[in-house]
Structure 1
């Protein structure tokens, strides 16, 4: 039985891997789905790239059957370009859902009125979602922040505008753009939004443990919990498993699977280079890795790399190292 619906799309599960630029590529999305993410969000894609470099975009996204329900996330600041880009994505890729990013805090994006910069313009948001719901057959959703800073937090208005103009789901990162990823996420604001709208709400921010998942659901009433940096530090969190309960053999199995998927997607050299950021997080809890970090992360041959990983994990197993809780980096 579905946990909730995004309009007519059934969602089975209440934990979702958040879209993250440079992170939620096809291999990591696949891992997220295997470990329990109820939806597969792509990295955000600029509407202009869809229109000017479509083949690059199609190659980058490359949807697969296991990703369903796939959510393609777009960003931009021009209504007409976003609408046309969304139409082309729908027609070319056939995602279950199209999401508009209105939460990216990057100043270079915000200055152009995209990402969290969209939150300055409720009327533009209304116009955009009204047009998207007229043009598209698939549901349209949004990911937002609470506002730009403490003096500009229009999340109540934005939530109502989105629902009234056809948004089928709202994901809320409970910080402002100025906060970035600092400070405490305001879960009370998420609960406010849940009380204001009838569409499903996903809560995002400061979810690092299985207990956090349960507490966010209990205290805010969200339909689901979206996990970003917490899942990057501990992808098993998507399965409600704390990092210190993950056996070393499971770390080895998942790390090898992920590297193999990266190599299949990108090729041996680029696949290994792009995998380094993930390997650093898989191995971060082990002292043996910290002593060899630089040497291991500069290896250029996948076989040598895996040999070095095995040596780190063997030393951790021999010493009885149990990773403790870590703050997401």
Structure 2
């Protein structure tokens, strides 16, 4: 798959997710044959004002050959200025603009999915970012803001005309958040309506789901979000399934082993204190459905040091 000058080894991508797609998790997913991965969404305003913590969010690891950076905001010129941070970074191969985030704190500022209610401003943002960026520019969107405002087809055409090199569509409205069922039919309609690549997103939790959305929508690629949480094996599984190969699933012990490896990467990149806090949710995802998982999760949530967490996980793995 290709977007502008950026080429990818396959068309199964890891979606940008706040608080999730940091360097450690991206590395794990790329090891599992993820075709491409994005940073967490980054505030263009925070970059503009020189926030160091925000700048750290687009750091890449030595093992990452390429990454997409996702920015959000509502000021076209400030959004464009963000490109100054990425243009000379060879590992950042595209800039994605978030127009799909449904979080209230983002929407109330006219950012994220709120931009779908303001296509004129959204168009200005794409034009300015496109003008400033030396990398392909893409847009991630929802099918509309709510059931009364499902405008994704016209919105997608507008983004294409404004210069977007590709779009990703999550098959829900902003008002739905993550409840209900993703509408894959309308993603297929978007694919027919534009000439640029379309990436389908929403309710892809298994290899079978991936195969169905690809066949139903004929989209150019797919983007896995929640389906990869605690399950980075999904990328391998999808490629195995669509290539008519036996699909391999991790054993309970393998799930814990990868969880531990993920944890160690998190400590390396983020430091002990942050990793202990950030990894709690990841551990819960990795062991979900395994025997005594709630008991183990509760024990880990009380631990303040990684040594204690590793001891719990080592003992737990041996019992599986």
Q: TM-score range by the shorter chain?
A: over 0.9
Q: Contact 2:99–2:114 at 8 Å: present in 1 too? A: yes
CA contact (8 A) 1:39 1:68 kept: no
| RMSD of aligned residue pairs (Cα, Å) | 1.9
- Give the aligned partner of residue 315 of structure 1: 319
Matched, 1:283 2:313: no
Aligned residue number for residue 19 of structure 2 = 22
Do residues 116 (structure 1) and 120 (structure 2) align?
A: no
**How far apart in 1 are the matches of 2:89 and 2:221?**
29
Q: What are the superposed Cα offsets for residues 123-181 of structure 1, whole Å, 9 maximum, x if unpaired?
A: 12222222222222110001000111011111011111111121111111010000000
Q: Tell me the residue number matched to 1:151.
A: 148
CA drift of 1:86 comes to: 2.5
Partner of 1:140: 137
Q: Secondary structure at the match of 1:156?
A: helix
State the distance in 1 between where 2:183 and 2:63 align.
34
Q: Does 1:100 align with 2:97?
A: yes
Task: Find the residue that maps to 1:29 and give its secondary structure.
Answer: helix
Aligned to 1:56: 53
How far residue 189 of structure 1 moved from its aligned partner, in angstroms, is 0.6
Q: Which residue of 1 aligns with 2:297?
A: 293
- Check if 1:270 corresponds to 2:274: yes
Q: Which residue number in structure 1 is paired with residue 9 of structure 2?
A: 12
Residue 166 of structure 2 is aligned to residue 169 of structure 1: yes
Q: Deviations over 1:94-143 (max 9, x none)?
A: 61000100000012211211000011111122222222222221100010
- Bigger helix share: 1
Q: How far has the Cα of 1:92 moved from its partner?
A: 5.7
The question of whether the paired residues in 1 share the 8 Å contact of 2:40 and 2:57 is answered with no
After TM superposition, list the pairs within 5 Å mapping 1:165-314 onto structure 2.
165-240=162-237, 245-314=249-318
Deviation at residue 272 of structure 1 after TM alignment: 1.9
Q: 1:175 is paired with a residue of what secondary structure?
A: strand
Offset from partner CA, 1:266-294 (integer Å, 9 cap, x none): 22232122111101111112122223331
SS in 1 for 2:95: strand
Equivalents in 1 of 2:267, 2:153: separation in Å? Answer: 44
1:302, 1:109 → 2: CA distance?
33
Q: TM-score, normalised by structure 2?
A: 0.92
Structure 1: 5+ residue stretches without partners: 317-329
What SS does structure 1 have at the residue aligned with 2:2? strand
**Contact 1:259/1:275 (CA < 8 Å) preserved in 2?**
yes
Contact between 2:237 and 2:248, CA under 8 Å: does it hold in 1? no
Alpha-carbon distance in structure 2 between the residues aligned to 1:21 and 1:156: 26
Work out the number of aligned pairs and report it.
313
The whole-number CA distance in structure 2 between the counterparts of 1:236 and 1:94 is 24
SS at 1:287 equivalent: coil
Aligned to 2:244: none
Which runs of 5 or more residues in structure 2 are unaligned?
A: 242-246
User: Please, what TM-score do these two structures have when normalized by structure 1?
Assistant: 0.90
Q: How far does residue 65 in structure 1 lie from its aligned partner after superposition? A: 4.5
CA contact (8 A) 2:237 2:249 kept: no
Contact residue 260 and residue 313 of structure 2 kept, 8 A: no
| 8 Å CA contact 2:73, 2:79 repeated in 1 | yes
Contact in 1 for aligned 2:199/2:223 (Cα 8 Å): yes
Q: Secondary structure at the match of 1:146?
A: strand
